[in-house]
Amino acid sequence: MHVAIIMDGNGRWAARRGLPRTAGHVQGARTVRRIVEAATRAGIATLTLYAFSSDNWGRPSAEVTALLRLLRRYLLGETRHCAENLVRVNVIGRRDRLSPDLIRAIEHSERTTAHGSRLHLRIAVDYSARHSILQAACSAPPGVANGGDAEFLRLINDVNHSALPTQDVDLLIRTGGEKRLSDFLLWECAYAELYFTDCLWPDFDEQGLNQALRDYAGRQRRFGRLPEAADAAV
């Protein structure tokens, strides 16, 4: 199962407590660890987290710097823990606009956790689904259409430095109350089940994840078919 999460609400969590926005991001990073651990217990195969979108470069420079510094600190601090728990870390998205120090931290984390087989944790940084699709289309060799969706998804994975072949998203969760995709995994979410919660990301926990999984389990995925045909395909 592939679960993707738009981790929204850090800034509002901090504002409600009279704290700077960076405090919300720090608390949000702690939530990441809890949810990664919960995902392994739930048997999720792939977890993709939206950490920093390409549009986030438009935020105040101080906040951008703090976010990317926090990401580097997270990678340096969590890599050993992930390796010990067989979690393979992979950062997807552009890397040409990231600092050399952050790129080194990303590459170190990916090398150290490459043996992980329990969970594939993908962290989207400087990520834009539209950019990924455009780059994949521009790099596609003649005749790629004959390979169907799977072949184009492989090209998208290549563009995004995805370490393993990644299938379509089964369940997309967005915290924070907003109900939009925000340029996240648009191709992979073509038939994803969408789950929105008002819970702000720093307050999201294992109970919240399990509630989303229970909601998903109660849905019928038809993929454009009639109910009987969809059940037969499964």
Q: What are phi and psi of 176, to 5 degrees?
A: 95, -5
The alpha carbons of the chain give a radius of gyration, in whole angstroms, of 18
| Residues 10, 4 contacting (CB under 8 angstroms) | no
Of the chain, the end-to-end C-alpha distance in Å amounts to: 14
- 8 as an active site residue: the answer is yes
| Residues 77, 143 contacting (CB under 8 angstroms) | no
Nearest to 189 by CA among 164, 162, 167: 167
Catalytic-role residue among 8, 90, 157, 170: 8
Q: Which amino acid is at 67?
A: L
Tell me the C-alpha distance between 149 and 168, whole Å: 10
DSSP annotation of 220 reads: -
Residues 6 or more apart in contact with residue 135 via CB below 8 angstroms: 159
DSSP annotation of 3 reads: E
Catalytic-role residue among 56, 85, 183, 215: 56
Strands (E), the chain: 2-6, 46-53, 87-92, 119-127, 171-174, 193-196
| Residue positions annotated with a catalytic role | 8, 56
